[in-house]
Structure 1
């Protein structure tokens, strides 16, 4: 979402028209975001303010949703220490996850926009103990209208420098877990689905490496100069989603 259809609360030129054209041609679309600092309600409210109403059960997937599903399937009944903000904590608990501050079975790192140093130290202590360590997504930066702010990938590097550990599993894009979860929600087949995004190592890779089409737009983090050194080669490249409209 960030960097592909909007920046902060400003639509990228042509993005609303692109979404409308998808529906006019009988296709479906779903927003799939790695940003785990916000829950579904935050995104639905934001899009409503921006003039777009969606069905959150079928048109919005976050790395938080996919991580809840992953934890319930792989660590049923386990107590989770979540390095995340209040909105994500509420979403985890609503999704049936038991959160634990002192004696967890599993630790989960998310894009926490509210942490302090004491919380970071506590998280590192749990990681050093060798508890299973799950990350909601790998993004290094989150785009804004004024540039970028550090995202969870930057935190993982920090924690690794202190503890010697990276996450055992990362659920969000480009990994299979969030793609399988999304396709299941949509009832879609990978060969009939395209992932459109502004990041090679998350958005485009999640398509190319999982049997979907990967479409790269230059309206966010990555640019053409990043392609020669990337192991991800998109199927198609556009300046923005606006350029896709005539091809639908």
Structure 2
């Protein structure tokens, strides 16, 4: 029995708007006992906040352990590969919680790392401070590089826009952890004791969800409910195993 790795933004919901078929699909997985993990590049929410958001949208029986975010993967990646623990963070509560769980210390000077996640309240001063640390030699690490974030039928700037800005200003390329980079998948597989052949990647974004599976030789299902549709496949040269219009198509009696 394969484990579904399910994207959130654009696949389960768009901001505070339900995506048709998503609640029914999760209820179906729960009823049949099919395992799943919500694998999201969105580093803003804690696991508790992510759970509450889905419950508020009408999903049932959602647990904190159902979520694996780019924030969690980033904190685990740094902790595994480096001994230093002082970081300057751009991000919200999800990234803050993940870094604290791995015993990182937040500093304003002499940072070992600049860790960048989506921060909807960050300003020019904060971005400039991050730049100062990078130019002083701090390792530059990004939770993810999403260009866009689905939000109630529109698209907001994704974290990738901020990362690109800092890369351009500093001349330093960030280490990127989230989808489509294999780093997030390798960390999840190790953490959950899974293998590539044990999973199916489900998402709306060819550049992140589907590319992760395509480049990792993993089964993928693209749902046309978010960033991309089937018209983008040939343009981006990223090929899902299967394309569906609505998650109801995966529900079998």
Scaled by the length of structure 1, the TM-score of the pair is 0.92
Q: Measure the CA separation in 2 of the matches of 1:87 and 1:197.
A: 21
1:55 matched to which residue of 2?
63
Q: What corresponds to 1:236 in structure 2?
A: 242
In the TM superposition, what are the counterparts of 1:159-170 in structure 2 within 5 Å? Answer: 159-167=166-174, 169-170=175-176
Shift of 1:26: 3.1
Q: How big is each residue's C-alpha offset from its partner over 1:10-39, in whole Å with a ceiling of 9 and x where there is no partner?
A: 321111111122233332011111011222
The answer to whether structure 1 residue 20 and structure 2 residue 1 are counterparts is: no
Shift of 1:222: 1.2
1:179 aligns with 2:170: no
Match of 2:214 among 192, 208, 216: 208
| Preserved contact between residue 32 and residue 62 of structure 1 (Cα < 8 Å) | yes
TM-superposed deviation, 1:231:
3.2
| 1:77 matched to 2:84 | yes
Do the aligned residues in 1 keep the contact of 2:88 with 2:114 (CA within 8 Å)? yes
Structure 2 residue runs of 5 or longer lacking an equivalent are 1-7
Matches within 5 A, 1:61-210: 61-167=68-174, 169-210=175-216
CA distance in 2, matches of 1:78, 1:211: 34
Question: What is the aligned length?
Answer: 245
- C-alpha spacing 1:170/1:91, structure 2 compared with 1 (3 Å): same
Helix, strand or coil at the partner of 1:228: helix
Question: How big is each residue's C-alpha offset from its partner over 1:52-85, in whole Å with a ceiling of 9 and x where there is no partner?
Answer: 232322x110000101100110122331111112
Higher mean displacement: 181-190 or 155-164: 181-190
- Residue 225 of structure 1 deviates from its aligned partner by 2.4
User: Which TM-score applies when normalising by structure 2?
Assistant: 0.90
Alpha-carbon distance between aligned partners in 2 of 1:179 and 1:86, rounded to the nearest angstrom: 22
* Alpha-carbon distance between aligned partners in 1 of 2:116 and 2:57, rounded to the nearest angstrom: 30
